[in-house]
């Protein structure tokens, strides 16, 4: 995963207002203490819903054509 890759959420995160299937973008990569990715989720107007660190098992990458 690299910065600005598009990802699809695999788990529900109701405390963040997100359901599995939500689409976001990687905005930061953490390699310590464990691998994690800061992912930004936006609404249809481009306003940020939330920005949250996720572990690799909580999402999967998708091609921009699959959005």
Domain boundaries in the chain?
Answer: 6-66
Determine contact, residues 35/56, Cβ cutoff 8 Å.
yes
Of 23, 10, 30, 12, nearest to 49 by C-alpha is: 23
Q: What is the pLDDT of residue 63?
A: 85
Express each pLDDT in 8-62 by its tens digit. 999 999 999 999 999 999 999 999 899 999 999 999 999 999 999 999 999 999 9
Q: Can you tell me the distance from the alpha carbon of 47 to that of 32, in angstroms, rounded to the nearest whole number?
A: 29
Element spanning 61, H or E: strand 59-61
Q: Which CATH class is domain 6-66?
A: mainly beta
């Amino acid at each position: 995963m690299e910065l600005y890759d598009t990802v699809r959420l695999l788990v529900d995160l109701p405390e963040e207002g997100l359901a599995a299937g939500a689409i976001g973008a990687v905005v930061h990569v953490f390699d310590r203490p464990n691998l994690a990715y800061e992912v930004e989720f936006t609404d249809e107007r481009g306003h940020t819903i939330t920005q949250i660190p996720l572990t690799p098992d909580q999402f999967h990458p998708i091609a921009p054509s699959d959005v």
